Chain A
Amino acid sequence: MENEDFSSLSKKKLKKLIRETQEVLNQLKSELKLRKQEKRHKEIDHMEEHFEDAAHNLSNLKSFIQKVFSEMRKDK
């Protein structure tokens, strides 16, 4: 696309091309936004699991400390 030569195109055609490209771009952006939002909705659907995970935070701390120390031992 970047190597295409637009010099032969008329001003009117160029404007039309820009308009069409802009439209496609907007559609692509909307599609991307929609997909991101769908992903977010799906993630929120797992809220029960997240509530559950949050309740076990002390076991998180224990495994985190173990991991930190094992990494430190490896580094030595």
Chain B
Amino acid sequence: MIDISNPENNEPTQDNLILRIFQWLLVLFLIYLLITAVGMIGAGFKGATKGQATDLFAFATNPFMGLIVGVIATAMIQSSSTVTSIIVGLVAGGLSVEMAVPMIMGANIGTTITNTIVSFGHINKKKEFRRAFAAATVHDFFNLMAVVIFLPIEILFHPLQKAAGYFATHLVGGENLSVKGLNFIKPITKPVIAEFKNLANMISEQGANILLVVFGIIVIFFVIIFVGRLLKKLMVGRAKDIMHGSIGRGPVSGIVSGAVVTVMVQSSSTTTSLMVPLAGSGVFKLKQIYPFTLGANIGTTITALLAATAISGDHAVLALQIALVHLIYNLSAVLLIYGVKNLRKLPIEGAQWLSNVAADRKIIALIYMVGVFFVLPGLLVFTYQLTM
């Protein structure tokens, strides 16, 4: 395959143009598959639970359990876009928005594992590792802080759910409850969902709905991987231009650039991982990397919004509501934590402290990663199961 991301290959030759058109058509097809897969999860989950989805997720009535599910699931598959798309599908299938909100918050934390692992690549040079690890963990500290602030408020007053609900009802049409202007989605996804349903029925009539959910999850998983790879090839030039343009400008420009690059590559972990070597080399300071990372949090919410367009019918409002929760939550977290000077510096201080400790004793970095993303959440789930 010709690497069209290479500027030398960027001559507008006919071959390159054809290849580029083909790759963009492939991106469109993959987005179509993503939307279809979310519809499959919604339909399958609805059929499997027969309207009792909340009972199936009874363990997640405790918001901390929902949070942990989001953290572990995202950390394991290293993609918040996949997890949030699945959550949108589950909400469309009957999972309550209230239960889904902590899961979305958990996905935000879980996704930070990727850039932490990327920073491990700098282990051979102590100073470089210290800077790279700080650039990775500043995202962790920020997202942990956001949960500490917003989750209790959400449990008590549901401001995110209410705000997202308000916007969702205004964006979704009246009688047939499908997203305004996007009524064409259902007709184009329905035949494929029906085909998968038939296939699931052929494999097992009793477990057809569960199989449909599993098919949906598998399709989302692979679509996110392939679309990410393809967009990286197609968008690397544009992403570079945006990054070049943000140099020497303020933090707001950094946040906007981080968000735009993330929308382009459809992956926050790609954007945040990209920041790690930039910081590791010492050319970019932690303070300059930080706003890009926050922009990535905002940009990644596009995937769930896109996934929500798949849903029509009774649950269209709810699917859009949970996708908007993701957006409003990340916007609010940036506004509050980055907007308030005293709060803004806490993730930087936390990351610098941890990276200093980890640079001296590397085992600390490993303990931190396994502890925060797996052991602690696992222990909490285990304790919860014992006490219930």
User: Do they bind each other?
Assistant: yes
Q: Which residues of A contact B (CB under 8 A)?
A: 33, 36-37, 39-45, 47-48, 50-51, 53-54, 56-58, 60-61, 63-65, 67-68, 71-72
With both chains docked as a complex, state the minimum distance between the C-beta of A61 and any C-beta of chain B, in angstroms: 5
Residue of A nearest to B288 (CB): A40
Which B25-55 residues have C-beta < 8 A from chain A? none
Q: Are B362 and A57 in contact (CB under 8 A)?
A: no
A72 to B367, alpha carbons, bound, how many Å?
Answer: 14
Taking residues whose C-beta sits less than 8 angstroms from the other chain, chain B's interface range is: 20 to 34
Contact partner of B278 (CB less than 8 A), chosen from A50, A60, A61, A64, is: A50
Residue of A nearest to B285 (CB): A36
Given contacts A53-B277, A57-B118, A68-B363, contact A40 B123 (CB under 8 A): no
Determine the main DSSP class of A at the interface with B: helix
Which 3 interchain pairs have the tightest Cβ spacing? A64-B120, A54-B273, A60-B121
Q: A36 — which chain B residues lie within 8 A by C-beta?
A: 283
A60 to B102, alpha carbons, bound, how many Å?
Answer: 30
Q: B10 — which chain A residues lie within 8 A by C-beta?
A: none
Can you list 15 pairs linking A and B with CB atoms under 8 Å apart? A39-B283, A43-B278, A43-B281, A44-B244, A45-B240, A47-B243, A50-B273, A51-B232, A54-B118, A57-B114, A64-B121, A64-B123, A68-B363, A68-B365, A71-B363
With both chains docked as a complex, state the minimum distance between the C-beta of B45 and any C-beta of chain A, in angstroms: 30
A37 to B246, alpha carbons, bound, how many Å?
Answer: 11
Q: A53-B277, A60-B121, A68-B363 are in contact. List 11 more A-B contacts (CB 8 A).
A: A42-B283, A43-B281, A44-B243, A47-B236, A50-B274, A50-B278, A53-B273, A56-B121, A63-B121, A64-B117, A72-B363
With both chains docked as a complex, state the minimum distance between the C-beta of A11 and any C-beta of chain B, in angstroms: 38
Contact string, B351-384, partner A, CB cutoff 8 A, digits 1/0? 0000000000011011000000000000000000
Given contacts A47-B274, A51-B274, A65-B366, contact A57 B283 (CB under 8 A): no
Q: B124 — which chain A residues lie within 8 A by C-beta?
A: 67
Given contacts A48-B5, A51-B270, contact A40 B283 (CB under 8 A): yes
Q: Are B362 and A54 in contact (CB under 8 A)?
A: no
A37 to B245, alpha carbons, bound, how many Å?
Answer: 11
A41 to B366, alpha carbons, bound, how many Å?
Answer: 32
A64 to B370, alpha carbons, bound, how many Å?
Answer: 13
Q: Are A54 and B283 in contact (CB under 8 A)?
A: no
A55 to B257, alpha carbons, bound, how many Å?
Answer: 21
Q: Are B118 and A43 in contact (CB under 8 A)?
A: no
A40 to B277, alpha carbons, bound, how many Å?
Answer: 12
B248 within 8 A of A: yes
Q: Are A64 and B244 in contact (CB under 8 A)?
A: no
Q: Are B274 and A60 in contact (CB under 8 A)?
A: no
A33 to B248, alpha carbons, bound, how many Å?
Answer: 9
Q: Are A44 and B240 in contact (CB under 8 A)?
A: yes
Q: B121 — which chain A residues lie within 8 A by C-beta?
A: 53, 56-57, 60, 63-64
A41 to B273, alpha carbons, bound, how many Å?
Answer: 18
Contact string, B216-259, partner A, CB cutoff 8 A, digits 1/0? 00000000000000001000100110011001100000000000
Residue of B nearest to A49 (CB): B277
A54 to B132, alpha carbons, bound, how many Å?
Answer: 12
Contact string, B93-124, partner A, CB cutoff 8 A, digits 1/0? 00000000000000000000011011011011
Contact partner of A57 (CB less than 8 A), chosen from B236, B240, B273, B365, is: B273
